[in-house]
Amino acid sequence: MAALLGSNTSAIAEVCDKVRPEWSPSDGPLNQIGDFLLTFGSVPGITFIAFVAASLFLKNMWLCVLSAGLSAFAAFVVPYNWLVPSVSKGVVHISAIGEGCIIPPYLSTSLLVLICMICLFTANFQRVRKSRKL
């Protein structure tokens, strides 16, 4: 019986290693800020933020539109992965929720929508400014 329990706990610990390798059990269950930091602190997250910052800094209309499109796509994919886990990930997803290493991505999704709106506003502002110069 002890061998079964020992192997079960190691299997549960491996769930979070697959879903969130950056998270450690000593950190405790995730909260929204922790999820946000893990999402945007990863290499793709930092690359995304750098791209959005560059497009806003350069004030290029097409870069802002591309940034808005990327953030809108990410704002769709992030909650979709939470709401509709694949069949093969179903048990792993449920176990990871129980362990506390993944939570609903409310803050991350809200921030992605906000970034999309800021980029669209900047692109529209650049378009209007460009049309007034003509």
pLDDT, tens only, 84-104 = 776 666 777 788 888 888 888
Place of tokens 């991505």: 105
What ranges do the domains of the chain cover? 28-133
pLDDT band per the 50, 70, 90 thresholds, residue 111: very high
Phi/psi for 28 (5° steps) reads 85, 180
The whole-chain average pLDDT of the chain stands at 82
Which residue type sits at 114?
Answer: L
- Rounded Cα gap, residues 134 and 131, in angstroms: 5
Phi/psi for 38 (5° steps) reads -70, -35
Is the confidence at residue 3, as pLDDT, over 50? no
The predicted pLDDT at position 12 comes to: 52
| Degrees to nearest 5, angle at CA 70 with 30 and 112 | 35
